[in-house]
Chains A and B, each alone.
Chain A
Amino acid sequence: EDQVTQSPEALRLQEGESSSLNCSYTVSGLRGLFWYRQDPGKGPEFLFTLYSAGEEKEKERLKATLTKKESFLHITAPKPEDSATYLCAVRTHDYKLSFGAGTTVTVRA
């Protein structure tokens, strides 16, 4: 059975304190790993898609990387507006995403 595990469950950072979120996966055949940001009561907002080990993508203070077993979302010099729940999801079949439980990030000014 496909499994997606995110850690830590929650992360409290001081503004400017860089950190990383982990998404480890056990799947039969990866067809893409996705990162989303979700604010309370809102739908997930797409951040990145990664397809192969070694791939990296960046957007502002966020950088996502992928290995054969896990993905990291690095947050560099975070600001309070980066506070959100970050969801990792894998696609192993057409149309179907399997989500991890998420990491809730709180950035204090």
Chain B
Amino acid sequence: DTEVTQTPKHLVMGMTNKKSLKCEQHMGHRAMYWYKQKAKKPPELMFVYSYEKLSINESVPSRFSPECPNSSLLNLHLHALQPEDSALYLCASSQDRGDGYTFGSGTRLTVV
């Protein structure tokens, strides 16, 4: 298995809703990432988990809450989002230290 699987593929949520994005990989990668990508812009790093511990938080607002239950799973919990948070949310994984990133297909999030 050489894929990163993200669910759901599309999500529409209200500003008072709570939702979660899920990411799964079975390549034995020990680093997992969340990126945010706005239309016609490059991906921007949000969080990095290394060996199931949060190692990088790029000053992301607390309405985004990451979780890494085990080495294969990564969640992003969403609460009280704003319309400007609408974007493509990408999960990625890599061997240690960031070589060989593999990205998932993303979750297209729309906040209404």
Residues of A within 8 A of B (CB): 31-32, 34, 36, 41-46, 49, 87, 89, 91, 94-97, 99-102
A49→B99 contact, CB < 8 A: yes
> Number of residues in B with C-beta < 8 Å to the partner?
28
A95 to B105, CA, bound (A): 20
Chain A residues within 8 Å of B103, by CB: 36, 43-46
Among B43, B94, B98, the residue within 8 A (CB) of A44 is B43
Chain A residues within 8 Å of B108, by CB: 41
Among B45, B50, B101, B106, the residue within 8 A (CB) of A41 is B106
B43→A99 contact, CB < 8 A: yes
Does B88 sit at the interface, judged by CB under 8 A? yes
Name 10 A/B residue pairs within 8 A (Cβ), A-sorted: A31-B98, A41-B88, A43-B90, A44-B43, A44-B103, A91-B98, A94-B98, A96-B45, A101-B42, A102-B42
Residues A49 and B56 in contact in the complex (CB < 8 Å), given A42-B105, A44-B43, A95-B50: no
Q: How far is the CB of A101 from chain B (nearest CB, A)?
A: 6
Chain A residues within 8 Å of B56, by CB: 95-96
**8 Å CB interface, B83-112 against A:** 88, 90, 92, 94, 97-106, 108
A49→B100 contact, CB < 8 A: yes
A95→B100 contact, CB < 8 A: no
B98→A97 contact, CB < 8 A: yes
A32→B99 contact, CB < 8 A: yes
Chain A residues within 8 Å of B4, by CB: 43
